[in-house]
Amino acid sequence: MKLEAELGARLFDRLPRSAKLTVFGKAFLPKAERILRELDEAKTELRDMSGNEKGEVVVGIIPTIAAYLLPKLLKDFTLQHPLITIKVMEDITSTLVQRLHEGTIDIAIVALPIAGNELACVELFEENFYAVLPEKHRLAKLASLSLAELDCEPFLLLKDGHCFRDSVIAACRKAKMLPSVVFESGQFATILAMVSAGLGVSAVPAMAVQPKPGCKFIPISGKHSTRKIGMVTSRHHYQSRAQRLLMKQMREACGDPGHRL
């Protein structure tokens, strides 16, 4: 009510057991949220000036990376910096980029490139794609294969929205073939189970190659059958000491010199 009096506008319609934003309230809300974020950043900056290694970092990561990259990395980081809290949000790339702009996450770990002058990207590593075939598939004994050799095969892929699906389809197009998608899932585990049952073929990034009964993993040849993984941050948000420490550890763990794109 004090804020409403100062602004000269009613922000809420007060009902007997609830309150709703007015037109003025809806217009003011984004500005209030931005002010609160800037206040949090100012507090973090002052805390960093004291040299204390503590704070909170919110990391957004796509599902095709999270389970393979984070467990050991975060375990090692927590042991070295026990006063820093790491929160992880798993989601698709478009949602993570939006959250970066909003300031609700500090770092996004995604497949590059990511468009936008307001974002800064640091490449961590590049990895190859592997075909996943049923053990008794006619191509299962090959040391490597091309995407063209999988033309007309029934493909099992991740659902729309997952950037790895987009990467595979883009690689297929460059190989002048279009995968015949017969099944879609949001999880590699489901896809691998279907491949094991002989219901089709698929592709996974190198980090997802693990022993799986009934499946044969074969490297896919060709310069386009790779993806680059990197960290993305907003150029407009303050990077806390805790965030910088985590990013440094990620670069070192992935063996990348930290070249800024």
Containing 76, the helix (H) or strand (E) segment is helix 63-80
Residue 78 host element (H or E): helix 63-80
The pTM for the full model equals 0.76
Domains within the chain, CATH numbers bracketed: 1-51 (1.10.10.10), 127-227 (3.40.190.10)
Mean pLDDT for the chain overall: 90
Confidence at residue 52, expressed as pLDDT on a 0 to 100 scale: 60
- Whether the pLDDT of residue 256 is over 60: the answer is no
User: In whole angstroms, what is the distance from residue 260 CA to residue 124 CA?
Assistant: 10
- Asked if the peptide bond before residue 82 counts as cis, ω within 30 degrees of 0, the response is no
Residue pLDDT, tens place only, 211-232: 999 999 999 998 889 999 999 9
Q: Residue 232's CB: how many other CB atoms inside 10 A?
A: 23
Span 196-206, mean pLDDT?
A: 97
Closest by Cα among 106, 126, 175, 181 to 147? 175
The residue ranking higher by pLDDT, 141 or 37, is 141
Between CA 58 and CA 185 the distance in angstroms is 27
The pLDDT tens digits for 31-69 are: 888 888 777 777 767 666 555 667 899 999 999 999 899
